[in-house]
Chain A
């Protein structure tokens, strides 16, 4: 079920009414409702793959107890590896099998050993990269003795499958989300109303910007060799806003939906295109994934390599970005995308005595001080990120290099078919978010805000009307494929 679909707008109010007004007497019944609703939400897309989620849930629930109840380090490790092996095995088979086989065969072919192509027709189960990472963090945290496993199976199953964040995150940690299933939620009108505003803002970004930019970007990347360099430059810039509107829009809807049910998700985006350097960008973009990679991959690697000082830290960071690339997609272009981000850290790591990390979980809600001299840095960081997007969006690594070659070698001409309408809405959203950058989302008002009620409602109505009038053709969320 898509957030931007008719089904969801029937599904959500039904679950909301049942949750707060019909089945509100007992916490366990509310949790069962959320679990069933989550399974319906996922099963709507493909009921067969629900079995994978259920299997992963049962295994990690059991493994969590086992790790906790075992003192012997070897046995604890054995149980942990069972969880890792199973979840990574699921990912490996459904997401990477064809990629590895393909790469293996072309490797042999390139050294003159002929092998027949062999791939399987595997459908990628939506959300698999997200829920496997979420359940793995549960086992890892118990193994590190940072978390006590729950004995409430329904709460755990709902934590794994909770519909607002099941298919594209935020990747929640058990330490934040699981306790919320174990205590009674209270309906708070102000939080729910702000959740609705956040959903509206997310829908606006998705339907007005992402869906309208998609056809333009698709056409350029599908036929890049016949485009002028000006068009190619504009194409990747528009893609940068498309993917931001798509993914941060999705996240706003997810967080807003959770708030309607009294849940508080961790922040996933913090206006990343206003970053002044690459490390700031990674603190603000897809925070739940970068903090996951930071805690479970970068930190253990960096600890292992710590005696090599800066070289060790750079190696750990570079490897983390390569894995991040592979997480996004089974293709060399994604690995290259990650590698390029890793390389961007060379000046950050080697030029300073001390520096900041790829991400922190610290609250960054206060409005940061910007000066006019920061704008060139913001634009430079954005352009660096755009360069990596060519690899991210192109179908193959060869296409990406072909795309860049045209940009470099041709004299730029004014781009063809400029999508003025999309650019107009992009400007509206970016200017709004610039002024709202100290808040959690673009449509949040302070509790003591002086914006009069009639003006607020005018804004909501204008946004809704714009969605109705200027909506692009419905597109799936980009991150569903990861």
Chain B
């Protein structure tokens, strides 16, 4: 899990252009100023590209925090 967090942190810092972002499983959009609804779409695109996976729309809409996003990636990469 820790590896994923590090990779996510890298992607978040890139997309949201903020080097100070530190992620935890419980982190939500409320905790990060730059994480708004439009940047969320860019994050999804970057995560899909980085891990070479494709999420379904309903999967994306159910995420409530970073941990759930990582779970989705993990489920796809490790299945």
Contacts and interface: CB of A to CB of B under 8 A. Distances in A.
Interface of A: 73, 144-146, 294-295, 298-300, 302-304, 306-307, 309, 312-313, 353-362
B57 A298 contact: no
Contacts of A306: 41, 44-45
Interface of B: 15-17, 29-30, 33-34, 36-42, 44-45, 57-58, 60-62, 64
A300 B37 contact: no
B37 A359 contact: yes
A300 B58 CA distance: 9
Contacts of B57: 300, 303-304
Contacts of B45: 306-307, 309
B30 A302 contact: no
16 contacts: A295-B37, A298-B37, A302-B37, A302-B41, A304-B57, A306-B44, A306-B45, A307-B45, A312-B41, A354-B39, A355-B38, A356-B38, A357-B37, A360-B37, A362-B29, A362-B30
A261 to B, nearest CB: 27
A162 B48 CA distance: 43
A354 B16 contact: yes
B37 A144 contact: no
B62 A146 contact: yes
B2 to A, nearest CB: 26
Contacts of B44: 303, 306
Contacts of B62: 144-146
Contact of A357 (B38, B58, B64): B38
B61 A300 contact: yes
B37 A299 contact: yes
Given A357-B39, A360-B29, 11 more contacts: A144-B61, A146-B64, A294-B37, A299-B41, A302-B41, A303-B44, A303-B61, A304-B57, A306-B44, A358-B38, A362-B29
B33 to A, nearest CB: 7
